[in-house]
Structure 1
Amino acid sequence: MRKILVIGIGAGDPDHLTLQAVKAINSADVFFVLDKGEAKSDLVRLRHDILQQHAGQRPYRVVQAQDPDRDRTAPSSGYSPAVDDWRRRRADICERLIREELADGECGAFLVWGDPALYDSTLGILEDILDRGEVSFVHEVVPGISSVSALVAGHRTGLNQVGRPVQITTGRRLSEGFPSGVDDVVVMLDAHRTFSRFRDEDLHIYWGAYVGTPDEILISGRLSEVADRIETVRAEARTRKGWIMDTYLLRRVPAQGPEQVAPEGGAGG
């Protein structure tokens, strides 16, 4: 039986890998890498750097394939069909890689940015492949440090305030309005700088781009005071690198200030 490992490798720093992830890397025979093109070649290089640092001298193979493009111009009504089409084409590629590049009894691995369970398609795609019934394998998941964890650590703050919930959402969802009953909202996958729509509200922002990488940028402050700076820095970074990955935490400012976070020793996830 073939075996697939889905390994969370953190937000970009090779030191983000857990001991469990290092052990998993050292048990894999083949690593599957989906190349997103020249503009995002940094992401492929970082994966190779992680393997060179943590895979030791044992033999392994790296198999690359071109990641299919997704239609990012689709209107809101066409968002789900566009994502479904992209996932189907990605599943076609992954199925072929597993069938042709992984022999019975071998172990293959996908190195997933951040944590495989948080806004990543790999687990769903593997389930789709298994449902097709054309190739069989068992798979395991190794959790990783997400960009959310790395973001708040970089800003030296907590993810939630005392006794209050936190919500993780997307820029597309945030554009529908700030969630009710929530004081802390983490926003991912926001290509349209949706935070700017809330600059008139009493909010604090903790923003980060390329979190965990040598290009990391962190900016925090009252949204009304730093929104323009974030937009400028973000645009410059995107132009310089050709792509950007950013995440941010929006926090309603309580009467005593923005730093009323859970006390040390409290429950955590």
Structure 2
Amino acid sequence: MTLSLTLIGIGTGNPEHLTLQAIRAINAQDLILIPNKGKGKDDLAQLRRDICAEVLTSETTRIVEFDLPVRDETTLDYRKRVDDWHDAIAAVWQATILAHGGADRVGLLVWGDPALYDSTLRIAGRLDPAPELTVIPGITSVQTLTAAHATVLNDIGAPFVVTTGRRLRDEGWPEGAAKVVVMLDAGGAFEAIDPIGVHIWWGAYVGMKEQIIIEGPLLDVRESIVETRARARADHGWIMDIYMLKRG
């Protein structure tokens, strides 16, 4: 029988962000896989455990945890590092599923939405044989950020760009963008751009009980954001943050 793999968007880890479709999908699985990302990041696995404890009512669904491979940071070629890492993750998925035989329906709980700055779909494409794939959309951190600040993502008739901290730092403000949403920032990429006339809406752990938000002219609040981010990371051992920038 062909493996059925369901990628379930879970939003930012808040059980209240789950859709009814996501809850039904969780309960329809034989096996839910939960990755452990290593020391200092157990909160991420715990949030998935908490979600299952909150919504899982099926007595036949098993929860299995696995250790996520560590990405090689020594190879200079960024794409090769990522590709090798994804190969390793796919191999661990396959081995974990095989070790728990009888699972025809397997689910993975994916932060935010599986289609926005997430590699789960690409990793799933490495499985052999290819599974039957189902994707359940989830609330993204972009939506949760704008909701937290009670603001709008786009201005009327104006484009916006969603990018990464690495690209903002290396390439500067994206051409033609009125607003820029920055994800996957290792920290403070906004310091690489001219702050004059730029407004920022920043948030960490958006949608969670630990949520922190700061908003204002970038020139005025950038130091506060950097300090707050460092303190939050030290307190929790990890951080997920996102921000939106607007010129003018």
Tell me the TM-score range normalised by the shorter chain: over 0.9
8 Å CA contact retained: 1:171, 1:191: yes
Structure 1 position 198, deviation (Å): 2.2
What is the match of residue 59 of structure 2? 58
Report whether the alignment pairs 1:245 with 2:246.
no
Unaligned 5+ segments in structure 2 are none
1:73 Cα deviation (Å)? 5.7
Alignment of 1:90-109 (within 5 A): 90-103=89-102, 106-109=104-107
Q: TM-score under structure 2 normalisation?
A: 0.94
Per-residue CA deviations over 1:85-111 (Å, capped at 9, x if unaligned) read 11111111112123332526x211000
State how far apart, in whole Å, the 2-side matches of 1:94 and 1:221 are: 43
Q: Secondary structure at the match of 1:38?
A: coil
Gaps of 5+ in 1: 254-269
1:6 match: secondary structure: strand
- After TM superposition, give the deviation of residue 180 of structure 1 in Å: 1.2
Give the CA RMSD over aligned residues: 1.5
The partner residue of 1:191 within 186, 190, 208 is 186
- What's the CA shift for 1:245? 1.1
Match of residue 235, structure 1, among 214, 224, 230: 230
Q: Which amino acid in 2 is paired with 1:190? A: D
The equivalences for 1:103-122 within 5 A come to 103=102, 106-122=104-120
Does residue 1:28 correspond to 2:23, yes or no?
A: no
CA deviation vs aligned residue, 1:202-226 (integer Å, no higher than 9, x gap): 1111111111211111111110110
Distance 1:128 1:99 in 2: 16
- Give the percent of matched residue pairs that are identical in Structure 1 and Structure 2: 45
Paired AA for residue 204 in structure 1: H
Instruction: Write the distance in 2 (CA, Å) between the matches of 1:84 and 1:27.
Output: 31
- The alpha carbon displacement at 1:17 in A equals 0.3
Answer whether contact 2:7 2:136 (CA < 8 A) is retained. yes
The one-letter code of the counterpart of 1:27 is A
Task: Select which of 159, 163, 172 maps to 2:157.
Answer: 163
Q: How many residues align?
A: 246
Please give the TM-score of this superposition, normalised by the length of structure 1. Answer: 0.87
Q: Are the aligned partners of 1:3 and 1:138 in contact in 2 as well (CA < 8 Å)?
A: yes
Range with greater deviation from structure 2 (167-176 or 48-57): 48-57
Match of 1:127 in 2: 125
